[in-house]
Amino acid sequence: MGRYLAQRLVYGVLTFLLIASFTFFLMDLLPGSPFQNQEKLSPEQLDILRDKYNLNDPLPQRYASYMVNLFQGDLGVSFKYDSRPVTDLIMERIGPSAQLGIQALVLGVLLGLVLGVVAALRHNTAVDYGAMFISVLGISVPSFVFASLLQYYIGVKWGVLPVAFWESPAHTILPTVSLSLGVTASIARFVRTEMLEVTGQDYVTLARAKGLDGQSITWKHMVRNALIPAITILGPMTAALITGTFVIEKIFAVPGLGELFVSSITQNDYTVIMGTTLFFSAVFILMILIVDILYGVVDPRIRLGGSE
């Protein structure tokens, strides 16, 4: 197990470095420059600015110094936000994004799980069709449409919950619900398929032959086995959710990471692009590692590194 983990960590770091390098070179191909109103600047002024951010150095040299700084935990300073360190910007924004993401994830996974299990148990009945209708709706309706509807009815018309901003727990409800819709939908579909698959397995028949009641058979014998494949999609999903979702953050005016990421691209804020990309990659790689470890917990056949 220890050896396996070490190996995976090394691979993780290598992947991270590759992503860092690719992004760095790709970013250099971005059109435009990080400086606004460039046409009003004289070539001399521009040159001074470029010099300040080392943009006049040759690409390999900039790459080398970026990587050296990266290893020291220094992601550089933003071009736009008053030369503030990128790490500070990320740390400032990660809170709301992570909270929103985790809330949506927990809600979506629980709801999806129940919906999927119930649909499978009531296969080919109105309950099943109803659950799958919700699921298809959740997958095909973009979250911003759903978010706008929620804002309009619950926020504006009935005035039950705040429409936007990130201030109190009540403010987090609408964005959480909007964001969890897609999660619920995909988890429900996945779990339903897997549950149906498991229903026909011999060990479920054997569990029945033992005289167990429906509840024990469902939760002890079926759900656990049905969850194993569902864990696969959980890793990338978690990474995507907690690192910020631009659309939902924008609609509900949540000061999160997604918003920072998108604005940095439109403004050619090189260091912020690099910083947020790398942050996302790191979370992603970590999540996949966690999922692999979780596999071993749920499925004893995959105890890692042959620790028998």
Q: Which residues contact 56 (CB under 8 A, 6 or more apart)?
A: 47, 50
Establish if 300 lies at the interface with another protein (CB under 8 A).
yes
Least spacing, CB of residue 112 vs another protein, in Å: 20
Establish if 301 lies at the interface with another protein (CB under 8 A).
yes
C-alpha 37/C-alpha 25 separation (Å) is 25
User: Whats the size of the chain, residue-wise?
Assistant: 308
Q: Out of 57, 92, 128, 299, which residue is the one contacting another protein (CB under 8 A)?
A: 299
Least spacing, CB of residue 7 vs another protein, in Å: 23
Phi and psi torsions of 77, nearest 5°: -115, 155
Least spacing, CB of residue 215 vs another protein, in Å: 11
Least spacing, CB of residue 205 vs another protein, in Å: 6
C-beta closer to another protein: residue 12 or 229: 229
Q: Out of 202, 215, 266, 306, which residue is the one contacting another protein (CB under 8 A)?
A: 202
Both structure tokens of 208:
């029945």
Is residue 104 a contact partner of residue 97, using CB atoms and an 8 Å limit? no
> Site map for another protein, 205-244, x if CB under 8 A?
xxxxxxxxx--x---xx--xx--x----------------
C-beta closer to another protein: residue 74 or 299: 299
C-beta closer to another protein: residue 145 or 302: 302
Phi and psi torsions of 85, nearest 5°: -60, 140
C-beta closer to another protein: residue 72 or 215: 215
Choose the stretch contacting another protein; rule: CB under 8 A; options: 110-118, 135-143, 153-161, 204-212: 204-212
C-beta closer to another protein: residue 84 or 224: 224
Least spacing, CB of residue 209 vs another protein, in Å: 4
C-beta closer to another protein: residue 84 or 210: 210
Least spacing, CB of residue 178 vs another protein, in Å: 34
Q: Out of 201, 219, 236, 307, which residue is the one contacting another protein (CB under 8 A)?
A: 201
Binding residues for another protein, rule: CB under 8 A, are 201-203, 205-213, 216, 220-221, 224-225, 228, 298-301, 308
